[in-house]
Chains A and B, each alone.
Chain A
Amino acid sequence: MNRRQALSSLLKTGVVAAGAAGLGSAAGYFSARAVGGQTTSGLETGVRPIKIGFQVHRTGIGAPYGYWYERVANAAVNYINKTGGIAGRLIELIAEDDETSPAKGAQVVERLVLAHNVDFILGALFSDVVLASGPRAGELKRPYFAVSEGTHVPFGKLNRWCFQPGITDVPGQVTAVAKWIFENLGKRVAMIYPDYAFGHDHRDALTKAAERYGGRIIEKIPIPPGETSFTKYFTRIPRDIDVLYHVMVGDVLTFIRELGVYLGRERPELFGFIDSIEAVPLSSPGLEYLEGTYFWEGFPRYADGYDTLYSRFYREAVGVDENGADKSDPSRVSAFSHMFGVWETLFVIKEAVEQSGYSGQTQRDYEAFIKTLESMDWFNEGLWHPQGDKFFNGRLHQSFGHQFISVVRNGRLVVVHRTEIEDSLYEHPNDYTRQSLF
């Protein structure tokens, strides 16, 4: 049996086991809610709770994501606390607004550690905030968990205290969907992307993937941040391409509207990353042009895109309806493709604490926690990981999971393909395990 077969076998048995265990917990969760929040047995009374600091983009440019990240974090903590906590201890979530600002982000990390004395930090989404916060977390010796997709964690730009176990990074996502793009939509591709780190990650990953799968990047069009008018850049789109690949360019509603007017009906295939329209209703005026175009999704917005017992449970727990919107306000669309990372990260922390025997903020406990986490290699699909199973690379501190490709049909996203975990994998020499912890 080779490694892959062994991993697959482990995955299959693990999914069944986790599913069975998870369903039992779910039943307990809903019955606990039904009786008005009685405390669940198994929690040790009088024990200090596990404090998890949470950097939230409540304000600033990341606010559309921050709202949902916080909501998911609260739902996950609520569930964990009602089903036995972490190693019998309650979680106390301490959330602070980082204003989506790198400077503020580092200050929040300091305050969470020095003023609130948290055990772990659930980090941010925006790359610049993570890049500013990770080093400070390392200096203060607190495990920092980004839910960012950025390459800063796997590419070794941070330190051994920083992890990204809840969501696949951009190169992994792009590598996975690129294969499908080149095989199904065409080989000649032009790219439009934001001219900063996030966009550069897309540019570099798709360029590499093109080499691997025989595609060709005909034109790269980086858009400066803060741009509000795009027509002037569209003249750079070659007419003889098969696919126009686009990813978050800020003022996305304007971008799509102007693109529609410029390209008209005789357009190439369009493939975008949902980041562009995350938390935006597809019914927004101007988005009609997206009909028939393709998107990467991290976790399908519409329930029928990946309808499992676990995804249904997760959707219920975070209060999202089958169209991916807030159950109490259908006009408020969720950041469904990203926010599951928060849920799954909290369960990774739980798993690592319980397996390592972490009990307090000692050097020995943190060493055991980090080494235990680094030794994990699979997170099995279940209530703890509703988006799907994930391979965790302990050297890179990064997870790699399945990705979804959807087409816009009748104003909704319909999943047409789910990638394999192997499609996301790439080689990188980084090895955090060689760094000393203290």
Chain B
Amino acid sequence: MFPLEHLGLALFDGLVNGSVMAFIALGLTIVFGIMNVVNLTHGELYMLGALTCWLLVQSMLPYASALIVAPLVSGGVAVIINMLILQRFGHEPGQTILATFGLLLILQQVALAIMGPAPRSVQAPFNPVIELAGFSYSGFKLVAGLVSISISLLVWLVVEGSRLGSLLRASQENRMMAESLGIDTNRVFMVGFALAGALVGFAGALTSPFRQIHFLMGFDALAMSFVVVVLGGVGRVGGTITAGLALGLLESLTALLLTPTLARVLTVALALLYIVARRLGAPRGGWRY
């Protein structure tokens, strides 16, 4: 059996990692879940946020500036991708997947050209080691976890309770009807892309001081984001937050009992089982969100 402080650390670390995971996946929930656009560049927009952060800190600018500039860069790139490419395909899934996959490769190579192939890192602006019940933890990572969960909850409120959320859903569910009611769906999608890009760009800058910055880092973020979004129920921001936290906790707790690789396999297997079970138990016509 494991000591009690290990359980405390597992719970704590699981919650922090889960919050960050949910936050990274949030933009994908908006674009993929609500707007039904399969944007494979999501992970690269995360990488762009981190890359922007590294570039600014390298240029002797304060880390805080990255939290403002990185969302603008990633959000701006997301808007450009939508305006110049995806909008022209009418966001048709097949072409969108192909186009965003190509863009994913291009963005990776651009990052490779800018920062080189070696991993990079950014110094945390503050990083006290916090002593908790029998274990120590990074103060900055804890703050990043709190920021992640706070912004995620705020986005949940905005998307679920505001006119923007209604417009996004209406534009996706029946575009022609929305347009006939005077909604400029292209503009709505543009706002959705900008918001999603800005959120994940912010996440990239926020996590830079405790994650390695590398031109291939976006792929893992994309894969994990899809798992979190699907697990949480496509299109449900609240579900994404819950799924992120659940996955983080599950990974941490299983790692206490099993070898690391088995723990990871079990976590993903349980997530898949849950998705299948939920699908089988869904009412005719699917769940209403």
Contacts and interface: CB of A to CB of B under 8 A. Distances in A.
Interface in B190-246: 209-212, 214-216, 220
Contacts of B252: 232
Contact of B260 (A61, A67, A227): A227
B138 A261 contact: yes
A232 B118 contact: no
B22 to A, nearest CB: 14
Interface string A120-161: 000000000000000000000000000000000000000000
A331 B5 CA distance: 41
Contacts of B13: 229, 231-232
B211 A61 contact: no
B118 A64 contact: yes
Interface in B138-155: 138
A231 B212 CA distance: 15
A279 B260 contact: no
B209 A66 contact: no
A283 B225 CA distance: 32
B251 A261 contact: no
Contact of B109 (A59, A61, A261): A59
Given A258-B138, A261-B137, A264-B129, A231 B260 contact: no
Contact of B120 (A59, A227, A284): A284
Given A232-B252, A261-B138, A253 B119 contact: yes
A252 B124 CA distance: 16
Given A229-B17, A286-B121, A253 B212 contact: yes
Given A231-B9, A251-B211, A61 B261 contact: no
Contact of A63 (B112, B121, B251, B256): B112
Contacts of A333: 118
B93 interface: no
Contacts of B129: 261, 264
A332 interface: yes
Nearest to B117: A63
B265 to A, nearest CB: 8
B126 interface: no
Contacts of A64: 116-119
A332 B117 CA distance: 10
Interface stretch (A25-33, A43-51, A218-226): A218-226
B264 to A, nearest CB: 5
A254 B212 contact: yes
A261 B136 contact: yes
A230 to B, nearest CB: 9
A199 B198 CA distance: 38
Contacts of A264: 129, 136
B251 A232 contact: yes
Contact of A226 (B112, B138, B210, B220): B220
B58 to A, nearest CB: 9
B2 A235 contact: yes
B259 interface: yes
Contacts of B214: 251
Contact of A222 (B9, B112, B259): B259
A253 B261 contact: no
B6 interface: yes
A285 B261 contact: no
B156 to A, nearest CB: 24
A257 B260 contact: no
Nearest to A284: B121
Nearest to B5: A235
- Most chain B CB within a 10 A radius of its CB, from A228, A231, A258, A280: A231
A261 B131 CA distance: 10
A257 B210 contact: yes
B14 interface: yes
A204 interface: no
B34 to A, nearest CB: 26
Given A251-B211, A251-B214, A253-B212, 14 more contacts: A64-B117, A66-B117, A67-B116, A221-B259, A221-B260, A224-B260, A232-B9, A232-B13, A233-B260, A258-B210, A261-B136, A279-B118, A286-B121, A332-B116
Interface of A: 59-61, 63-64, 66-67, 195, 221-224, 226-229, 231-233, 235, 251-254, 257-258, 261-262, 264, 279-280, 284-286, 332-333
- CB-based closest 8 A-B pairs: A63-B117, A285-B123, A64-B117, A235-B6, A253-B212, A232-B255, A253-B121, A279-B118
